[in-house]
């Protein structure tokens, strides 16, 4: 099989769909349920409250895509690809969120210079400094996942090594959940979401090498743990917002997420793939970074002067437009320059990256 996999355009569309689920969760449900705005969508919140599961889809896609992107890359190439992909839009997201918070926040959120400077590193969780925007917590989960993938690039990726590592990670997940390992171990294991990363990686192995007994066993086990942890997580979210989540709906949505990604791995979704979906994928990351605190602030400032449905649609359109501007005028021009700067000393014989592999 070729070492240069084709781009899976349908994953770009799925990523934007996941981001929009999270946006709707924030604007239609958690904004007013969390006392960030008085713009209420009581009827619509019955379904919007499940939108946070877009993050679960993100993590499953990430397991698939990041392993695909890292396959055949040297450690340096992988690190450069992650830095180039993540940091330019992230720095703009911090700047925009901080400026809007200071100028228009009216006490809704607070931000300090120390907080901003720490957030610029993306490692603010280590000194326990608060995120500039609530959504940044997922980036810390992603960064820890990338460190594990980086280890793979050092030891060399083979089918056997990757599958052995996935079984090992899953075993550690169960040991953390059973209380056998100390809580500090979960900093690396990430038992709350590890099943998504593991299953995503296993599904990439299915896509690349075909089905075998290990994948046929590993993915359903991850699905079972994902359902178990998702129901528990939903209970915690429900307590935070004083709502009730249906275990049946949670189970159905998690199963659907796994089913969709399994179809991608089996190439069932290829007829739906369109090159134009690249634009959708490009909007996903900046949209995710920009929408939350800035959106809450704009909702609070405009809630008395604009119809709530007009405001909701308009705000989503504005955020999509802002995401496009970040991609067009920040990511596209800055990414190749940053890549050249960070790759100056890359050995000439270093392995080539997979062509067209989607990032993030």
Low-confidence ranges of the chain (pLDDT < 50): 1-4, 348-360
CB 133 within 8 A of CB 289: yes
DSSP conformational letter for 52: G
Do the domain assignments include residue 356? Answer: no
CB 218 within 8 A of CB 83: no
Helices (H) and strands (E) in the chain, counts: 15, 0
Q: What is the pLDDT at residue 5?
A: 53
CB 203 within 8 A of CB 63: yes
Q: What is the pLDDT at residue 271?
A: 87
pLDDT tens-place string over residues 162-220: 999 999 999 999 999 999 999 899 999 999 999 999 999 999 999 999 999 999 999 99
Give φ, ψ of 50 to 5 degrees.
-90, 0
Q: What is the pLDDT at residue 353?
A: 43
Q: What is the pLDDT at residue 343?
A: 85
Q: What is the pLDDT at residue 345?
A: 61
CB 4 within 8 A of CB 354: yes
3-class secondary structure, 358: coil
Q: What is the pLDDT at residue 346?
A: 53
Copy the structure tokens of residue 298: 């704009």
3-class secondary structure, 188: helix
Q: What is the pLDDT at residue 140?
A: 96
Do the domain assignments include residue 360? Answer: no
Do the domain assignments include residue 254? Answer: yes
Count of Cβ atoms closer than 10 Å to residue 221 Cβ: 17
Do the domain assignments include residue 56? Answer: yes
Q: What is the pLDDT at residue 37?
A: 85
Do the domain assignments include residue 352? Answer: no
Do the domain assignments include residue 57? Answer: yes
CB 11 within 8 A of CB 61: yes
Do the domain assignments include residue 161? Answer: yes
Q: Which domain holds residue 138?
A: 9-342
CB 3 within 8 A of CB 72: yes
Count of Cβ atoms closer than 10 Å to residue 120 Cβ: 15
pLDDT tens-place string over residues 113-168: 999 999 999 999 999 999 999 999 999 999 999 999 999 999 989 999 999 999 99
* Number of separate domains in the chain: 1
Q: What is the pLDDT at residue 357?
A: 43
Cα(228)–Cα(251) distance, rounded to whole angstroms? Answer: 8
Cα(216)–Cα(319) distance, rounded to whole angstroms? Answer: 40
CB 305 within 8 A of CB 36: no
Do the domain assignments include residue 354? Answer: no
Give φ, ψ of 215 to 5 degrees.
-65, -40
């Amino acid at each position: 099989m070729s070492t240069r996999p084709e781009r899976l355009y349908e994953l770009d569309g799925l990523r934007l769909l996941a981001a929009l689920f999270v946006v709707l969760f924030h604007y239609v449900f958690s904004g007013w349920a969390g006392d960030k705005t008085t713009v209420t969508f009581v009827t619509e919140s019955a379904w919007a409250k499940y939108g946070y599961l877009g993050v679960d889809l993100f993590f499953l896609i990430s397991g698939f895509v990041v392993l695909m992107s890292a396959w055949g890359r040297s450690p340096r190439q992988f690190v450069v690809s992650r830095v180039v992909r993540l940091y330019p839009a992230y720095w703009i997201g911090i700047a925009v969120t901080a400026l809007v918070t200071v100028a228009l926040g009216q006490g809704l959120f607070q931000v300090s210079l120390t907080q901003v400077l720490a957030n610029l590193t993306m490692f603010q969780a280590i000194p326990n400094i608060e995120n500039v925007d609530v959504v940044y917590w997922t980036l810390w989960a992603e960064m820890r996942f990338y460190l594990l993938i980086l280890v793979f690039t050092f030891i060399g990726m083979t089918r056997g090594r990757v599958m052995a590592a996935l079984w090992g990670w899953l075993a550690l997940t169960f040991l953390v959940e059973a209380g056998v390992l100390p809580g500090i171990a979960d900093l690396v294991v990430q038992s709350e979401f590890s099943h998504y990363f593991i299953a995503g990686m296993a599904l990439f192995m299915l896509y690349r090498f075909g089905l075998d007994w290990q994948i046929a066993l590993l993915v359903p086990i991850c699905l079972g743990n994902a359902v178990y942890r998702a129901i528990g997580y939903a209970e915690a979210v429900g307590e935070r917002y004083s709502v009730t989540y249906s275990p049946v709906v949670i189970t159905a949505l998690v199963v659907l997420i796994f089913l969709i990604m399994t179809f991608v791995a089996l190439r069932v979704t290829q007829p739906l793939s369109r090159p134009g979906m690249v634009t959708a994928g490009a909007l996903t990351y900046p949209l995710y970074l920009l929408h939350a605190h800035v959106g809450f602030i704009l909702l609070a400032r405009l809630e008395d002067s604009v119809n709530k449905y007009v405001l909701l649609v308009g705000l989503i359109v504005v955020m999509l437009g802002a995401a496009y501007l970040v991609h067009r005028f920040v990511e596209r021009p800055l990414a190749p320059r940053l890549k050249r700067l960070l790759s100056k000393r890359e050995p000439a014989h270093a392995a080539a990256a997979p062509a067209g592999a989607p990032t993030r």
